[in-house]
Amino acid sequence: MLWQKSWLETRWRFLIGAILLSCSAAVTVFTYPTVKELLSLVQGNATGALGRQIRESAELARTFPGYIWSESFAGNQRQWITLFAILLGTASFLSTSGGASFTLSLPVSRRRLLAVRTSTGLAELFILAMFPALLIPLLAPAIGESHGVASALIHGFCLFIVATIFYNLGFLLSTIFSDPWRPVLIAIGVAVALGFLDRVLRFTPLSLFDVMSAERYFRHGAVPWAGLLVSVAIAAGLYSVAVANLVRRDF
Amino acid sequence: MAEALVIEATALRKTYDGVDALRNLDLAVPAGSIYALVGRNGAGKTTLIKILMGMARATSGNVRVFGQNPGSSDEGIEIRRRIGFVSDEKDLYASMSVEELIRFTASFFPRWRNDLALEYSRRFALPPSLKIKALSRGMRTKLALLLALCRGADLLILDEPTSGLDPVMADDVLQALVAHVAAEELTVFFSSNQIAEVEQIADRIAIIDGGRAIVSGSVDELRERYCRIQLIFEDAAPPATLRSAGVERITRSGRVMTVLSSQGSATVLDEVRDLRPLSVEVSPVNLKEIFLQSVTVED
């Protein structure tokens, strides 16, 4: 029954996320023919940082997998999954729909309550990462293109693993703050700051967002195992701190 | 033979950010009693209940429920399996319907009473398909009470069970509670600042103030022990200090001195004779007066 409660309390965040991510993936696929037509308009001699970026994007968009990677796995999907990981993580089992003291009056340990809520959230996050990724090879034939299922699975998996960091960050923050807004805003702030370090300052000794988009896999066919393992370790660390926080917290 | 205690607290202390919510609180709740915890807002009633339920941990002191420590994870689970609980906020899961929440709660309690759940659903006129968020506060209180009563519990812990209810609904809830307790063998521990409802159902009481239990005992015994002695003097009441055991409060107003004694009137009367009052009158006090005299500062 705890599973049902967790599902009832997170289902709207999950369903909205599933619809948005799926629509985003579908729109990316179906706009490819138009993008391909516009490629001829891109000038090859554009200069400066912006010109270089335009040329890189145009180059990637010459192939369907390159276009999908740059627009979806390294673009929209990465941003959406980060946002929904935070929203699902901050859906604390003690604050989303009231009933904290009722929950704590049940003959269940706090660790079990947290394990059920986290398992439900991670299962939802997994679907949010994998389902839209799998939509791409499914929809590609409709525009006369193809995309490997294995590649989509690997990209979806990398999105999921790194997103668990943001899920657990949101979860940890929700154990510190009792209102629903500060955990969301702080976690989004952390994600934006990491993105800033990553892209603007080019501080990428171990970029979470590069691991998330699986750039190495896209360019060289190598799954970023080290980055994934580090991500799992960070997520597990955040989860452990959150559990320790909540187990000793007074309500 | 000593009474079996369901709840036992000794020198219990709870501090929040350096402020004492409970200070060396002692409490003993015998099995089978209807025990009322009475106090003003902020006296520490909810803090004590949270400690008993394992929702908060004591800073120091000792607390046992059914002989076990509610602060321990494993023992806390065993304790909560035997408790029916209604919180002060009556906060239930807004996203569930009445029927879903009853089914949800039943799944955690092996001794769940389906017969009672049906009976109270009818009696309280709870619409099964209505979402909790659509229920009025009164209906939510009734549902919270149903969920506590049907657990097959040995102990009911109710935090201000009738707060926020109109008198009719409050009476309805109390009647249901009294009928349930009469039919089942259980202990009830409830907090309240409604003295009338305490007099209506409690057989034992503890008055808590500033985090300490300042008065405790059976309601009948308190009524026997406590009395008001009013002395009228020819001139202004003298600023005398009485040394007799049991003098709880002395108030003076013009020619009148009023003494509240918690140990009868005999020793006080012996002592005040020397003050030569014009008249002396001894009268019984009710729970409300005991409460007010106990928690208000001497004038």
Identify the DSSP state of A249: -
Cross-chain residue pair B93–A107, CB shorter than 8 Å: no
When mean pLDDT is compared over A19-33, A93-107, B274-288, the highest value belongs to A19-33
pLDDT at A126 over 50: yes
Residue that wins the pLDDT comparison between B203 and A55:
B203
What is the average pLDDT across A127-143?
95
Model pLDDT for residues B23-69, shown as the tens digit of each residue = 999 999 999 999 999 998 888 999 999 999 999 999 999 999 999 99
Residues of B in contact with A250 (CB under 8 A): 16, 50, 55-57
Q: What is the pLDDT confidence band of residue A9, given thresholds at 50, 70 and 90? A: confident
What ipTM does this complex have?
Answer: 0.84
Overall size of chain B counted in residues = 299
Instruction: Return the closest-CA partner of residue B53 out of B69, B37, B41.
Output: B69
Model pLDDT for residues A168-198, shown as the tens digit of each residue = 999 999 988 888 889 999 999 999 998 888 7
Is pTM beyond 0.95? Reply is no
Identify the DSSP state of A41: G
Residue by residue, DSSP assigns chain B as -PPPEEEEEEEEEEEETTEEEEEEEEEEEETT-EEEEEE-TTSSHHHHHHHHTTSS--SEEEEEETTB-TTSHHHHHHHHHTEEEE-SS----TTSBHHHHHHHHHTT-TT--HHHHHHHHHHTT--TTSBGGGS-HHHHHHHHHHHHHTT--SEEEEESTTTT--HHHHHHHHHHHHHHHHHS--EEEEEES-HHHHHHH-SEEEEEETTEEEEEEEHHHHHHH-EEEEEE-SSSPP-----STTEEEEEEETTEEEEEESS-SHHHHHHHGGG--SEEEEEE--HHHHHHHHHSPP-
pLDDT at A95 over 60: no
Tokens of A142: 């409709």
Q: What is the pLDDT of residue B249?
A: 81
Cross-chain residue pair A105–B83, CB shorter than 8 Å: yes
Cross-chain residue pair A251–B56, CB shorter than 8 Å: yes
Q: What is the pLDDT of residue B3?
A: 66
Chain A residues in contact with chain B using a Cβ-Cβ cutoff of 8 Å: 1, 4-5, 8-9, 97-102, 104-111, 247-248, 250-251
What is the average pLDDT across B74-97?
91
Q: What is the pLDDT confidence band of residue B100, given thresholds at 50, 70 and 90? A: very high
Model pLDDT for residues A29-71, shown as the tens digit of each residue = 999 999 888 877 766 666 777 777 777 777 888 899 999 999 9
Q: What is the pLDDT of residue A216?
A: 86
Nearest CA in chain A to B83: A105
CA–CA distance, A95 with B240 (Å, rounded to integer): 57
CA–CA distance, B65 with B48 (Å, rounded to integer): 12
Model pLDDT for residues B175-189, shown as the tens digit of each residue = 888 888 888 889 999
Nearest CA in chain A to B88: A101
